Chain A
Amino acid sequence: MGNFVDLLRNENMKIYSRPRTWIMMGIMLVLMLASNIIAVSVGADVKSMWQVFSMQSLFGFSAIVIYAVIIAADSVAGEFSAGTIKLLMIRPWSRSKILLSKYIAIVGFALFFFAALFVWNYVLDGIFFGFSSGTVQEMLGDESARNIWGYMLSVYGLQILATTMTTITLSFLLSTVFRSGGLSIGLSLLLMFMSGTLSGIFSLIDKPWVDYLWFMNEDLTSYLLPGTYEHTLGFSIGVLAVYYIVFIAITWTVFNKRDIAS
Chain B
Amino acid sequence: MSAPVVQLSNVTKRIGKRTIIDQLSLDLQPGEVYGFLGPNGSGKTTTIRMMVGLMKLSGGEITIKGHSIQTSYEKAIRQVGAIVENPEMYKYMSGYKNLIHFARMVPGITRQRIDEVVKLVGLQARIHDKVKTYSLGMRQRLGVAQAILHKPSLLILDEPTNGLDPAGIRELRDYLRKLAKDEGITVFVSSHLLSEMELMCDRVAIIQNGKLIDERVITQEGSSSDAVGKYRFEVDRPADALALLTQLSAVISQDGIELSADRETAAWINAQLVSAGIKVYGFRVQNKSLEDQFIEVTGGETIG
Where the two chains meet, the residues of A that have a C-beta atom closer than 8 Å to any C-beta of B are: 1-3, 6-7, 9-10, 13-14, 17-19, 82-84, 86-87, 89-94, 259-261
Are A89 and B54 neighbours in the complex by a CB distance under 8 Å?
A: yes
Chain A residues with Cβ under 8 A from B105's Cβ?
2, 6-7, 10, 91-93
Kindly state whether residue B157 has any CB partner on chain A within 8 Å: no
Chain B residues with Cβ under 8 A from A83's Cβ?
85-86, 88
Contact with B93, one of A14, A86, A94 (Cβ below 8 angstroms): A14
Distance, CA A17 to CA B78, complexed state (A): 28
Chain A residues with Cβ under 8 A from B104's Cβ?
2, 6-7, 9-10
Chain B residues with Cβ under 8 A from A2's Cβ?
104-107
Are A1 and B78 neighbours in the complex by a CB distance under 8 Å?
A: yes
Instruction: With A2-B107, A82-B91, A83-B88 as known contacts, state yes or no: A13 contacts B97, CB within 8 Å.
Output: yes
Which one of B69-77, B217-225, B294-302 contacts A?
B69-77
Kindly state whether residue B52 has any CB partner on chain A within 8 Å: yes
Distance, CA A91 to CA B77, complexed state (A): 6
Instruction: With A10-B101, A259-B54, A259-B56 as known contacts, state yes or no: A92 contacts B75, CB within 8 Å.
Output: yes
Kindly state whether residue B80 has any CB partner on chain A within 8 Å: yes
Are A260 and B107 neighbours in the complex by a CB distance under 8 Å?
A: no
Instruction: With A13-B93, A83-B88 as known contacts, state yes or no: A90 contacts B74, CB within 8 Å.
Output: no
Interface string of B97-116 (1 = CB under 8 A from A): 10011101111000000000
Kindly state whether residue B146 has any CB partner on chain A within 8 Å: yes
Kindly state whether residue B263 has any CB partner on chain A within 8 Å: no
Kindly state whether residue B172 has any CB partner on chain A within 8 Å: no
Distance, CA A160 to CA B55, complexed state (A): 37
Are B106 and A17 neighbours in the complex by a CB distance under 8 Å?
A: no
The 3 closest A-B pairs by CB, nearest first: A83-B88, A91-B105, A6-B104
Are B107 and A90 neighbours in the complex by a CB distance under 8 Å?
A: no
Distance, CA A197 to CA B89, complexed state (A): 42
Q: How far is the CB of B97 from chain A (nearest CB, A)?
A: 7
Distance, CA A9 to CA B101, complexed state (A): 9
Instruction: With A2-B105, A82-B90 as known contacts, state yes or no: A260 contacts B54, CB within 8 Å.
Output: yes
Contact with B53, one of A1, A19, A89 (Cβ below 8 angstroms): A89
Kindly state whether residue B65 has any CB partner on chain A within 8 Å: no
Are A261 and B89 neighbours in the complex by a CB distance under 8 Å?
A: no
Q: How far is the CB of A142 from chain B (nearest CB, A)?
A: 49
Q: How far is the CB of B265 from chain A (nearest CB, A)?
A: 52
Chain B residues with Cβ under 8 A from A3's Cβ?
107
- A13, A84, A91 interface centre (most CB from chain B within 10 Å): A91
Chain B residues with Cβ under 8 A from A260's Cβ?
49, 54-55
Question: Can you name the residue of chain A whose Cβ is closest to the Cβ of B103?
Answer: A6
Chain A residues with Cβ under 8 A from B92's Cβ?
17-19
Are A261 and B85 neighbours in the complex by a CB distance under 8 Å?
A: no
Instruction: With A3-B107, A259-B55 as known contacts, state yes or no: A86 contacts B97, CB within 8 Å.
Output: no
Where the two chains meet, the residues of B that have a C-beta atom closer than 8 Å to any C-beta of A are: 49, 52-56, 73-75, 77-78, 80, 82-93, 97, 100-102, 104-107, 146
26 contacts between A and B (CB under 8 A): A1-B74, A1-B78, A2-B107, A6-B105, A9-B104, A10-B105, A14-B90, A82-B90, A84-B89, A87-B83, A89-B52, A89-B53, A89-B54, A90-B53, A90-B77, A90-B82, A91-B77, A91-B102, A91-B105, A92-B77, A92-B105, A94-B73, A94-B74, A259-B56, A260-B54, A261-B49
Known pairs A90-B53, A92-B75. 17 more at Cβ < 8 A? A1-B78, A10-B105, A13-B93, A83-B88, A84-B89, A86-B88, A87-B102, A87-B146, A89-B52, A90-B54, A90-B82, A90-B84, A91-B102, A94-B73, A94-B74, A260-B49, A261-B54
Q: How far is the CB of B157 from chain A (nearest CB, A)?
A: 13
Distance, CA A156 to CA B34, complexed state (A): 59
Contact with B74, one of A10, A18, A93, A261 (Cβ below 8 angstroms): A93
Distance, CA A83 to CA B80, complexed state (A): 19
Q: How far is the CB of A33 from chain B (nearest CB, A)?
A: 28
Q: How far is the CB of B24 from chain A (nearest CB, A)?
A: 17
Are A86 and B107 neighbours in the complex by a CB distance under 8 Å?
A: no
Chain A residues with Cβ under 8 A from B87's Cβ?
87
Are A87 and B89 neighbours in the complex by a CB distance under 8 Å?
A: yes
Distance, CA A118 to CA B107, complexed state (A): 38
Chain A residues with Cβ under 8 A from B56's Cβ?
259
Question: Can you name the residue of chain B whose Cβ is closest to the Cβ of A3?
Answer: B107
Are B101 and A13 neighbours in the complex by a CB distance under 8 Å?
A: yes
Q: How far is the CB of B53 from chain A (nearest CB, A)?
A: 7
Distance, CA A196 to CA B107, complexed state (A): 48
Are B85 and A86 neighbours in the complex by a CB distance under 8 Å?
A: yes
Chain A residues with Cβ under 8 A from B91's Cβ?
82
Q: How far is the CB of A257 from chain B (nearest CB, A)?
A: 8
Chain B residues with Cβ under 8 A from A82's Cβ?
88, 90-91
Chain B residues with Cβ under 8 A from A7's Cβ?
104-105
